[in-house]
Structures are given as C-alpha cells and as structure tokens.
Amino acid sequence: MPTAYDAIAPEYARHRSDQPFAVETLGRLQSQAGGNAVLEVGCGTGDYAAAMVGTRSCTVHALDPSREMLRHAPELEALNRVQGHAGSLPVADASLDMIYSVNMIHHLKTVTPYFREAFRALKPGGILCTATDSEAIIRHRKPLSLYWPSTVPVELERYHALQKLSAEMSAVGYLNLATWEGQSMFPIADAGPYRDKAFSCLGLIPAEAFQSGLRAMAADLEAGPLEGVSELVFLWGRRS
C-alpha cells in the first residue's frame, strides 16, 4: 500500500543526508552493544544505514514502510532493505545487537508497541537508541523556526517529550537509560531543499505561511549563505 512519503522520496533523496556527529554517536553505541547485527527503523532513503555500513563494518537491516523511500536507498552488500513497520518488526526474537532510529519516533502516535517489539528483537544487553528533537531544539531550529515559526506548534504537537519516551522505555524494561545532545553547523547557500519541502513540517503549515518564509529566506540569501544548525538528542537504553 502506498504511503504519504512515497511521493516525496525523490526530494528526500536529493536533499537529505546523514550528519557526521550522529553517525559517530550511533557508531559508538554500536561498539558498546558488542555485535554487528543492526536494524534502523524508519530509514527513509537510507543515509544513516549506508553510513553505518561504511564506517562500522556492520550489517544493517534498513526498514521503512515506504517502498519508494527504500527504492532510493543505496544498494550495498551489507545493507538489507526491508519494507515494514515499527510496531511489527520482521525479525526473529533476540537476533539484533542494536536498533536505532533517527527522526522517526514522532511519526508514531504511540511508542509502546515499537519499544516492546524492539525489546523482543534485541539480544540481552542489546541497545535501543532513539535520535529525536527536544522541545528546545524545535523552538530554536535554524532555519526552520526562524523563517517558518508556525512549524513550532505543529512539531510540538507531534513530537513526544523526552520524559515520556524515557518513562515508556523504563516501563517496557530497558535499563541504564542515558541521553546526549549533539549538533553541527552547516552553510545554506540555496533555498532548494526548503522550496521542495524536504522537511515534512513544511507540508503541515498553511500555504501562505510557507510562501512567506520562503520569500524571506530567498531575500536573506541574496546577501550570502546562511547558517544552519543540525541538532539531535539521543536517548538509549539496554535490553535487560
């Protein structure tokens, strides 16, 4: 069945990419997990899965509900593209050393089924990691909250609070929960990714608000590149 993300898969493939600080963090956790069987849930076009394969020499199962997103993922020997959903992972019990997601968890209305499925699929001591945005990150995104402030209440509505995610993980049985926040700066020389709505929140605001922000960004770009900030907060824990 087609998904809402099938139509925008080309824009994601063209404009979205992995962030080195995030790959480094995920790689460090994979080392702590002590094994090479890894699953990314909600992989999109596979940027992080491919980066993990390239830098960590691990086998990554890249799962996404969108067939078109998966079609744009790299074809690598150690990258297994799988169509599926977070609430019903198509893997055997206790078969994985690490499960992670990047900017996926807010697409789930309820997170407990996913956390339970991940718990089932992880080996004892395996690690579940969620990379997401905190309230502070959403409120101060550059450039999104600057040019499109109407995205802030929309995103606060659909993102899960970190305290809620931690409580849900603890209730399922994950141990040694920890968080870490990372960021990196990047130059913005072209409004193309924003014009093409390669960030899903831009498709959730009124058309006039979107066009107004785009005009303001284009005007500022005439003076030279803008500074963007990529930020993520990582929450992880171990299967008991």
Q: Which domain holds residue 77?
A: 9-238
Identify the band that residue 196 occupies on the pLDDT scale cut at 50, 70 and 90.
very high
pLDDT, average across residues 35-56: 93
Over 50: is that where the pLDDT of 1 sits?
Answer: no
Is residue 55 a part of any domain in this protein? yes
Identify the pLDDT of residue 187.
96
Identify the band that residue 217 occupies on the pLDDT scale cut at 50, 70 and 90.
very high
Identify the band that residue 169 occupies on the pLDDT scale cut at 50, 70 and 90.
very high
Cα dihedral sign, 193-199-200-201: negative
Is residue 2 a part of any domain in this protein? no
pLDDT, average across residues 154-158: 96
Is residue 189 a part of any domain in this protein? yes
Is residue 1 a part of any domain in this protein? no
- Over residues 119-155, the pLDDT tens digits come to 999 999 999 999 999 999 999 999 999 999 999 999 9
- Over residues 8-31, the pLDDT tens digits come to 777 877 878 889 999 999 999 999
Per the CB < 8 A criterion, the answer to whether 3 and 64 are in contact is no
Over 50: is that where the pLDDT of 84 sits?
Answer: yes
Which tokens go with 133?
A: 């945005």
Is residue 138 a part of any domain in this protein? yes
Over 60: is that where the pLDDT of 2 sits?
Answer: no
Terminal Cα-to-Cα distance of the chain (whole angstroms)? 36
Is residue 3 a part of any domain in this protein? no
46 vs 135: CA distance, rounded Å: 26
Beta bridge partners of 104: none
Neighbours of 52 (CB within 10 A): 26
Is residue 201 a part of any domain in this protein? yes
Is residue 202 a part of any domain in this protein? yes
Total count of domains within the chain: 1
Neighbours of 181 (CB within 10 A): 14
CATH of the domain at 204: 3.40.50.150
pTM here is 0.93
Per the CB < 8 A criterion, the answer to whether 63 and 41 are in contact is yes
Over 90: is that where the pLDDT of 51 sits?
Answer: yes
DSSP state of 142: B
